[in-house]
């Protein structure tokens, strides 16, 4: 049993002063030690969600389009048009679709999952060598105990930055080795390769998104060249009272595009037509969804959809999430073809670092992040 599993915390409020001006006592928080908490019957109150947000386990399955990328990746223009049409229809409705025959080496995916086990099954003290600091988005997080003190997610995460810039060839490997030690060199190599593969796949998907919106295949691909993205390993241990908590609370991704690979356990749910739906696990497929930044790029045409993750009382669930983000100096502004008198601008210009700062320091991401961020920008400018 780990020490300091539960200590006091202060109530979380969603305000711009969140996590600022605290004294040392206020910084103290409970620690999510999965080796202990996975067996506990009485959940700490910080992990118990309000009744109106508690999970439903038996939800209908979402009919998510399955996009076969084989012929598109082979250069077939007809296949590209067909895929872009299906993707466009999905993105206008809920922003979720699956891709298969995506060109990612199956062995690489298997290694990415197996190395997750190797990391998260370590003692808490070893994982905390990569402890995420408040206000930062990289590192190890045992739940989000350092940021919030209510409605905590039942999960551990390890997040790190990827850059497709030519002067950052081994940014993932270097970060993981420098943070965790040289024993993690192979670990770093696996996720370096995985991120590179995800970046390549995401640029191909951006071609299809550009075609679907009528702005050409190069528009968004060029915008996300030299992307500075985020990779996150999600680890959801069993919970003895899964009906009281959530693995990840309801939110829309603030990033541009999420490419998720989930294991066979299941737990991803999407809010469509005023009810929650599940997405059945498919180990051969990636789940792709639109984030808030791309919703702004599309001038609101494509939807960043509310989703969450539920947990179970028997089996650990794992997922690999690659969050595509533009280079820091890129201005998020919709192409002129998507703006007219009938479809005026919805969101102001911004850069990804601005939105990232907002979600890390001032606002807990939810379904109203982009709306709140827009008001925040307007207040700052005035």
Q: Output the pLDDT for position 175.
A: 95
361 pLDDT tier (thresholds 50, 70, 90)? confident
Q: Output the pLDDT for position 146.
A: 62
Distances (CA, A) of 255 to 234, 296, 311, 321, 347: 17, 10, 24, 11, 15
Q: Please tell me the distance from the alpha carbon of residue 262 to that of residue 257, in angstroms, as a whole number.
A: 16
Element (DSSP H or E) covering residue 374: helix 369-381
Which has more confidence, 7 or 159?
Answer: 159
Q: Compute the half-sphere exposure of residue 288: CA atoms within 13 Å on the CB side of its CA.
A: 30
Q: Output the pLDDT for position 325.
A: 98
Q: Model-level pTM?
A: 0.91
Task: Give the active site residues.
Answer: 317
Domain extents for the chain? Answer: 47-381
Q: Output the pLDDT for position 57.
A: 81
List the beta strands (DSSP E) in 66-138.
66-68, 96-100
| Topology classification of domain 47-381 | Jelly Rolls (2.60.120)
Evaluate if residue 62 carries a pLDDT over 60.
yes
Evaluate if residue 30 carries a pLDDT over 90.
no
DSSP-assigned letters across all residues of 175-244 = HHHHHH-GGGHHHHHHHHHHHHHHHHHHHHHHHHHHHHTTS-HHHHHHHTTT-EEEEEEEEE---S-TTT
167 pLDDT tier (thresholds 50, 70, 90)? confident
Q: Output the pLDDT for position 309.
A: 97
Q: Is 283 within 8 Å of 263 (Cβ atoms)?
A: yes
Q: Output the pLDDT for position 132.
A: 86
Q: Please tell me the distance from the alpha carbon of residue 176 to that of residue 275, in angstroms, as a whole number.
A: 39
Per residue in 290-314, pLDDT (tens digit) is: 999 999 999 999 999 999 999 999 9
The two tokens of residue 142 are: 């045992």
Which of 12-21, 86-95, 288-297 is the least confident region?
12-21
19 pLDDT tier (thresholds 50, 70, 90)? very low
Express as a percent the part of the chain with pLDDT over 70: 91
Evaluate if residue 21 carries a pLDDT over 50.
no
Q: Output the pLDDT for position 364.
A: 84
Per residue in 227-276, pLDDT (tens digit) is: 999 999 999 999 999 999 999 999 999 999 999 999 999 999 999 999 99
Q: Output the pLDDT for position 14.
A: 39
Evaluate if residue 158 carries a pLDDT over 50.
yes
Evaluate if residue 7 carries a pLDDT over 90.
no
12 pLDDT tier (thresholds 50, 70, 90)? very low
Evaluate if residue 354 carries a pLDDT over 90.
yes
The number of beta carbons lying within 10 Å of the beta carbon of residue 27 is: 12
Evaluate if residue 381 carries a pLDDT over 70.
yes
């Amino acid at each position: 049993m780990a020490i300091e599993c539960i200590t006091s915390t202060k109530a979380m409020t969603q305000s711009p002063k969140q996590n600022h001006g605290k004294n040392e006592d206020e910084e103290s928080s409970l620690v999510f030690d999965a080796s202990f908490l996975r067996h506990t019957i009485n959940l700490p109150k910080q992990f118990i969600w309000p009744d109106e947000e508690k999970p439903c386990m038996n939800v209908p399955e979402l009919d998510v389009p399955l996009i076969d990328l084989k012929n598109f990746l082979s250069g077939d223009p007809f296949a590209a048009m067909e895929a872009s049409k299906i993707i466009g229809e999905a993105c206008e409705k809920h922003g979720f679709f699956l891709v298969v025959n995506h060109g990612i080496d199956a062995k690489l995916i298997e290694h990415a999952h197996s190395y997750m086990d190797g990391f998260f099954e370590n003692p808490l003290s070893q994982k905390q060598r990569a402890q995420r600091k408040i206000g930062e988005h990289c590192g190890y997080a045992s739940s989000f105990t350092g940021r919030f003190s209510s409605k905590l997610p039942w999960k551990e995460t390890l997040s790190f930055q990827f850059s497709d810039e030519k002067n950052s060839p081994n940014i993932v490997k270097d970060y993981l080795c420098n943070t965790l030690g040289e024993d993690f060199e192979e670990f770093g190599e696996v996720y370096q390769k995985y991120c590179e593969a995800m970046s390549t796949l995401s640029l191909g998907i951006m071609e299809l998104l550009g075609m679907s919106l009528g702005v050409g295949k190069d528009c968004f691909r060029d915008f996300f060249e030299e992307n500075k993205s985020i990779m996150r390993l999600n680890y959801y241990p069993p919970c003895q009272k899964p009906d009281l908590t959530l693995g990840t609370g309801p939110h829309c991704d603030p990033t541009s595009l999420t490419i998720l690979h989930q294991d066979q356990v299941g737990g991803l749910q999407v809010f469509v037509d005023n009810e929650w739906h599940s997405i059945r696990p498919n180990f051969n497929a990636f789940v792709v969804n639109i984030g808030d930044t791309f919703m702004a790029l599309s001038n609101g045409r494509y939807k960043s959809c509310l989703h969450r993750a539920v947990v179970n009382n028997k089996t650990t669930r794992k997922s690999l999430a690659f969050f595509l983000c533009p280079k820091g100096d890129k201005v998020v502004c919709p192409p002129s073809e998507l703006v007219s008198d009938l479809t005026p601008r919805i969101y102001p210009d911004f850069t990804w670092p601005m939105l990232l700062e907002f979600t890390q320091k001032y606002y807990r991401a939810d379904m109203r992040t982009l709306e709140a961020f827009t008001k925040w920008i307007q207040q700052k400018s005035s």
